Amino acid sequence: MASNKPRTASFSRNFSSPAPQIPGLKHGPNGTTFLSSGIPDLDKILGGGFVLGSLVMVMEDPEAPHHMLLLRNFMSQGLVHHQPLIYASPAKDPRGFLGTLPNPVGPKEDKSRVHETEQEKLRIAWQYKKYSGEHNSDSRRDEKSEFCSDFDLRKPLERHFFSGQLIDCVTLNDSADLASFHQRCSAFLSQTPR
């Protein structure tokens, strides 16, 4: 005889009220939380950014160092939003890599970029502008700046983004095994707020 109990899935998501907005994170569909990659166009391709809690592997291409661009933007994005950062590298001085992180585009530079795009848009007939949805571009720009910054690769990240931050840089050359690195990561995570 079959019972009339409803079947439940082995896992289900908690759809309680959304958590308070954390800088650099945004809520997506089905309770998904996205973390910005630091590159707005890549966030669009990924469907909103990296899924928080996921494991992302970036394959290195020795002939095209795009992985370093992604790493620099991702690290800068985290520091701009006051997130803790641990960086491990086989380099002798991994802290030197922090000097290569790009600076976010400031409001002054953003206005010049907007002015250039406005000049390009003037070439388009005004009838087309009316139907292209340009009237909502300001609200989209404000939403994007809260989640993902635009970075100027020519300027290093300003020092004030480093002050008061929880940052640790680890060289992997000093340890024969990964046990000391694991302990250092555990100590770092114990300092981070939950």
Q: Indicate if the pLDDT at residue 98 is higher than 60.
A: yes
Residue 191 pLDDT > 70, yes or no? yes
Task: Report the mean per-residue pLDDT for the chain.
Answer: 76
Sketch the domain layout of the chain as residue ranges.
Answer: 66-105+147-193
Q: Return the SS3 of 129.
A: helix
Show the tokens assigned to 190: 């114990």
Secondary structure (DSSP) of 49-109: SEETT--------TTSTHHHHHHHHHHHHHHHTT--EEEEESSS-GGGGGGGPEEEPPHHH
pLDDT digits (tens, 9 = 90+) for 30-50: 888 999 889 989 999 988 899
**Which of these, 102, 44, 43, 56, lies nearest to 76 by C-alpha position?**
102
Q: What is the spatial distance between Cα 78 and Cα 157, in angstroms, rounded to a whole number?
A: 12
pLDDT of 121: 52
Q: Residue for token digits 């000391």?
A: 180
Q: What confidence tens digit (pLDDT) does each residue in 9-23 have?
A: 555 555 444 555 777
